[in-house]
Amino acid sequence: MAFAAAAAVVTLNVGGELFQTTTATLSRAGTSSTLAALGPSSPSAPHFLDGDPRLFAQLLSFLRHGRLPAPAPPSAALLVEARRFALEGALLASISPASAFAPLSLRLSALLPLAGRAASSAVAVCASTPQPASLVAAHGGVVTCFDAALATRTSVLTPLPAVDSLVAVSPALALAGARDFPGVHLCRFSDDATAAAPLAASVPDVLSWPGSSSATVLSMVATAASGAPSAPWLFASFESARRNSSAIVAFDLNSLSPVAEIGRKEVFGADVEAAIPATKLGWLGEHNLLLAAGSHSSPGGVVGDIRLWDVRASVTVPVWEVREKEDCFADVSASDALSALFKVGAASGEVFMADLRRLGNGGGIGLEPWVCIGDGQRAAAAASSRRKEGNGCKIECYCNWVFVARGADVEVWTQVELAPEAGGKKVMKRNWVGSGPSIGEEAVKEKAKIVSWAFGGSRMALARADKRSVELWDSAPAAICANT
């Protein structure tokens, strides 16, 4: 047994400094790493690796303990060294895991300045991985990509006057769209073929609605490979230049070619409400449902419709649809984890919930699915008025939580279970995010309206009106410190 244990010891000479570990530790690097293939060796005949011993010591500690010695994000040099040994992905996953996300522990951890004079208009995190392998921000017609360590950035200039829709496909590719400029524009941040899924040479720089190359983009959402119908997809909502037709187009993210047209609408005469385009898209991977919602404001009030499409079953008929006239949504989102839709009422500003399991039981146009989880009396009073207290509010679901942006502030709704004596049922409770910033009061003293946000790993990114920076809120540092 003593001989077997000694035989498992591996001695490494890294840049002139000796390290000793075991084959079991090195095997945690994975089969794609050269470290996993190194066999036992003695101090008199070590394996030689040409590298920086200080950086290698951090990587070896990561393999031993599953995390870096310090809770701070890795440096750019460490990421380069990790890439040599195929450890970059695992390292990035460890610094901001979704399991460490705690909305009530979110603290402002960084302000990311953006070059130029344009304010930030959209933010996104990488959709292909559960951790934020990269953060992408749009400012004017420029799209800037930050790496996970926030140590490097790369910018791409697009022909768009201002980016409204933004999707991060990979650390090397983002997709940008605008409501007043045609097409989905590809933003490539790296020529490294290993950094993103390979694209065919024939892939254009602009993705268009087939047959309507002048159509503008109203909204986009990407699917992860595990939750996509077959391969990862991009869904883009297009509206024709004359605003008399619209459709959602599905693109294969591997080839970036259009594969399906969903829910085409045409305006006939003055019946504008019958052809409201989708201005908000969402994806429910566990349920295989595409959420498409749009609204229209008129002198008589706000009217909208919400549709759910099972893209595997049909791209012509939605599996569920509701037309909203009383307290129509200001924004709507979908949650896989909670199996529900959520909306903010445009009139009341209150939050409503619709159980997906009930929608399948004969749901159709005219059926009221919503249950107010906020102030029910206020919602009922606002439904018959022309108040617009929810205008400008945003709502987004991430993991088990629902976030609502009201002007400059963010509230979070959490599902809690009541005590048995109170019935034991589950209800939604509201709290506010960010009781105190961690980088100083001066940086956030003048908070502006939130215009875009994104979630990934343990992070929340915010873009505010007229601000040439992106706020990064993180709950991972507190979780890491608690485990040390």
With a cut of 90, say whether residue 302 has pLDDT above it. no
Q: What is the pLDDT of residue 357?
A: 84
Cβ atoms of 110 and 150 closer than 8 Å: yes
Contact between 467 and 99 under an 8 Å Cβ cutoff? The reply is no
Q: Which residue has the tokens 């890439």?
A: 83
Give pLDDT tens digits for 208-257: 999 889 999 999 999 864 455 557 899 999 999 988 899 999 999 888 89
Q: Which residues pair with 137 in a beta bridge?
A: 123, 144
Taking each helix axis from N to C end, the angle separating 88-95 and 76-84, rounded to the nearest 10 degrees, works out to 140
Q: What is the DSSP string of 34-72?
A: GGGG-----TTSPEEE-S-HHHHHHHHHHHHHSS-SSSS
Report the candidate in 125, 121, 114 with the shortest Cα–Cα distance to residue 162: 121
CA 60 – CA 62 distance, rounded (Å): 5
CB atoms within 10 A of CB 44: 6
CA-wise closest residue to 213 among 202, 205, 225? 205
DSSP-based three-state secondary structure for 5: helix
Cα 330 from Cα 343, distance rounded (Å):
7
Place of tokens 């097409």: 183
Q: Which residue has the higher pLDDT, 250 or 444?
A: 250
Residues 22-39 pLDDT 10s: 998 898 888 878 998 999
From CA 322, how far away is CA 369, in angstroms rounded?
Answer: 8
Task: Please give the structure tokens belonging to residue 275.
Answer: 């052809």
pLDDT tens per residue across span 352-374: 999 988 875 444 444 568 999 98
What region, left, alpha or beta, does residue 235 occupy, with left being phi > 0 and alpha being psi -120 to 50 degrees? beta
Residues 6+ positions from 62 with CB-CB distance below 8 Å: 68, 87, 90, 91, 94
pLDDT in tens, 148-204: 767 678 999 999 999 999 999 887 889 999 999 999 999 998 644 334 444 444 456
Residue 425 and residue 5: Cα distance in Å, rounded? 54
Q: Please, which pLDDT band fits residue 271 given cuts at 50, 70 and 90?
A: low
Q: Do residues 153 and 144 lie in contact, with contact meaning Cβ atoms separated by under 8 Å?
A: yes
* The two three-digit tokens of residue 215, written as one number: 């159509």
